[in-house]
Amino acid sequence: MTAAALDVLRLHCLPDPRYPEGWIESIYFDTPLLTAYREKANGDNLKRKIRVRWYPDTDPATAPRPHPEIPGTTIPAFFEVKDRMGAARDKLHTGFRMDGTMLQYAPLTDSDLLRAIRQQAQAMNVAMAEMIVPTISIRYYRYRLVCPITRTRISLDTRLVSDRCNPDLMPGTEPRHIPQIVCEAKSPMHRHWPWSETLFRLGFRSCSFSKYGEFINQRIQGGR
């Protein structure tokens, strides 16, 4: 389905001029009670998402793994906090540098990883920064396009995998996969896009979809 969806989108849209495609990886943070996950699962009016995101050059699952005792070089990363109350949204987004090997490979119970992230959260004045803990990592390959007429930004996320989780919070440490591909269109207003009907015929459906919520759901409830 990925190839067919890309064909449809490329027929109507142009590749993003700066970042047409590439890997994205994030470590998500929550409270020890998984408050953010439960807000999403329960449909609460107030929702919060906290993550550290970076952009690997290659698929870490197939790239050579650095020796654990050799410090890695620092890489650009981004600390993001997204709050939503009803229709109102707020986002904090700050870039910083961090040891790439630690970000990519450290167990999510690693004390050095937790200390570095909490320090960054405190520097951003994130409320209750001392309470957040790493929960899972999520990686996927994203294609980015732009509609030349409406300027709508479209992303197509494929090869979704979570290969690290915090065993203190949930059972199972084996990698988990989401077989679906996710298409998201960001526009200042709702529009009828010329490619949407074709995507629906391919099997896409319009819905609210949380990668974080779905992977947590897989691990603690066995998935949908």
Any idea which residue has 């919060």 for tokens?
48
Q: Which CATH number is 207's domain given?
A: 3.20.100.30
End-to-end CA distance of the chain: 20
> What pLDDT score does 23 carry?
97
Residue identified by tokens 């207003």 is: 189
Of 123, 102, 139, 136, nearest to 213 by C-alpha is 136
Q: What is the pLDDT of residue 160?
A: 97
Determine if residue 78 is left, alpha or beta; phi over 0 gives left, psi from -120 to 50 gives alpha, anything else beta: beta
3-state secondary structure 54-95: ECCCCCCCCCCCCCCCCCCCEEEEEEEEEEEECCEEEEEEEE
- Give the single-character DSSP code of 131: G
- Angle separating helix axes 211-221 and 35-42, nearest 10 degrees: 100
Q: Which two tokens stand for residue 43?
A: 């449909």
Q: Tell me what percent of the chain is helix, strand and coil, each rounded to the nearest 5.
A: 25, 35, 40
pLDDT of 67 reads: 60
Residue 79: what pLDDT? 93
Domain boundaries, position 180: 2-221
The Cβ of residue 168 has, within 10 Å, a number of other Cβ atoms equal to 11
Residue 46 has a pLDDT of: 65
How do the pLDDT tens digits run along the chain, 224 residues long?
789 999 999 998 999 999 999 999 999 999 898 988 887 776 655 678 899 999 998 888 887 776 655 666 889 999 998 887 766 677 888 999 999 999 999 999 999 999 999 888 888 887 777 888 999 999 999 999 998 888 889 999 999 999 999 999 988 778 999 999 999 988 755 566 777 888 888 888 888 888 999 999 888 876 44
Number of independent structural domains in the chain:
1
Q: How far apart are CA 129 and CA 125, in angstroms?
A: 8
Integer angstrom CA distances of residue 24 from 57, 66, 141, 188: 9, 19, 6, 24
Q: Is 20 helix (H, G, I), strand (E, B) or coil?
A: coil
Q: With contact defined as beta carbons under 8 Å apart, do 73 and 97 qualify? A: no
